[in-house]
Structure 1
Amino acid sequence: MAGLVRVRGRAPPEAGEGRTYEHFYFMLEAATAGLGVAIAPEVLVRDDVAAGRLVAPFGFVASGMRYVALNPEGSGGRERPFITWLADRAKAEDALARELAAATGA
């Protein structure tokens, strides 16, 4: 968390004991119930932030990771519709993320 906070130009909070969860779902449910803070991928919290159930006080930071779709030679192009669909979905998700960032001031 300290690295994320530094990216946003703020001092990191004091470290302390806390709970850990084995799955994002449990962690986000705990945060939604007011039991603490959570750091999660934007796609997992987008709806909750938009609905006001969670807040993103530091906004979101791009992870720098990306997905790559490979199509093997000799496949005959059967994968092309899927790759096109995947690219279209990624563009739509990016547009939603930008809208959310604008709405939350991130």
Structure 2
Amino acid sequence: MSRKKKPQTLPKLYAAKAEAEEELRKAKQREKILKNRMSKLTRNERTHRLCTRAGMLESFLKEPTVLTDEDVMELLAFIFQSEAVQKKLNLLIESRRETQEADEGENP
């Protein structure tokens, strides 16, 4: 014996629609909050990385306060033109990518 569903009334359908729309609004707001948090974390990570690496660079400069930004850029451009530096940089990148891929394979 099969049971037939009772037909829903129009007011109940409107109420269900309103409830679903409210849930959607809340979900969209939650999504917006999460996107903002992700953006802030990404920005904070980048700021930390930039400050750390700038500190590393300054530790190699003899008199960092005497040099201008242009001086440092000129020095970096000179250093990174070197074939040996480019080769080392490519090896480091390749090694890190392999490590990341292995880590992702272990923790999908």
Q: TM-score, normalised by structure 1?
A: 0.29
Task: Pick the structure with more helix per residue.
Answer: 2
Structure with bigger gyration radius: 2
Relative contact order (C-alpha < 8 Å, sep 6+): which is higher?
1
